[in-house]
Amino acid sequence: MIINKDINPIRNIYYLGGRLIDILQNHDKGLLIYDAYEAMIEKVDISMNMFTLTLDWLYLIDVITIEDGRIYKCF
């Protein structure tokens, strides 16, 4: 993925993925998807579409797994 210098950093998937990983660092037993979304809203103004795109990206690069509606970090 090429990083565009003109995009707002808050709308960058790398930034949003990092914020979600920060949230998951404090939850060893995983976090429900909706609870993770609520936690993201507290830190960043994010739409559900961008949140879903962030989840998809982190899942594709094997940083998170999703089981029974809970998000777990893989490292």
At residue 27, the pLDDT reads: 87
Q: Domain residues of the chain, as ranges?
A: 9-73
**Are residues 23 and 36 in contact, defined by beta-carbon separation less than 8 angstroms?**
yes
Q: Measured in whole angstroms, how far is the alpha carbon of residue 68 from the centre of its chain?
A: 17
Angle of helix 13-25 relative to helix 33-43, nearest 10 degrees, comes to 110
pTM of the entire predicted model = 0.83
Q: Quick: pLDDT tens for 20-43.
A: 999 999 888 889 999 999 999 999
CATH 1.25.40 fits 9-73, yes or no: no
- Is pLDDT at 6 greater than 80 in this prediction? no
Q: Quick: pLDDT tens for 51-67.
A: 999 999 999 999 999 99
**Are residues 21 and 31 in contact, defined by beta-carbon separation less than 8 angstroms?**
no
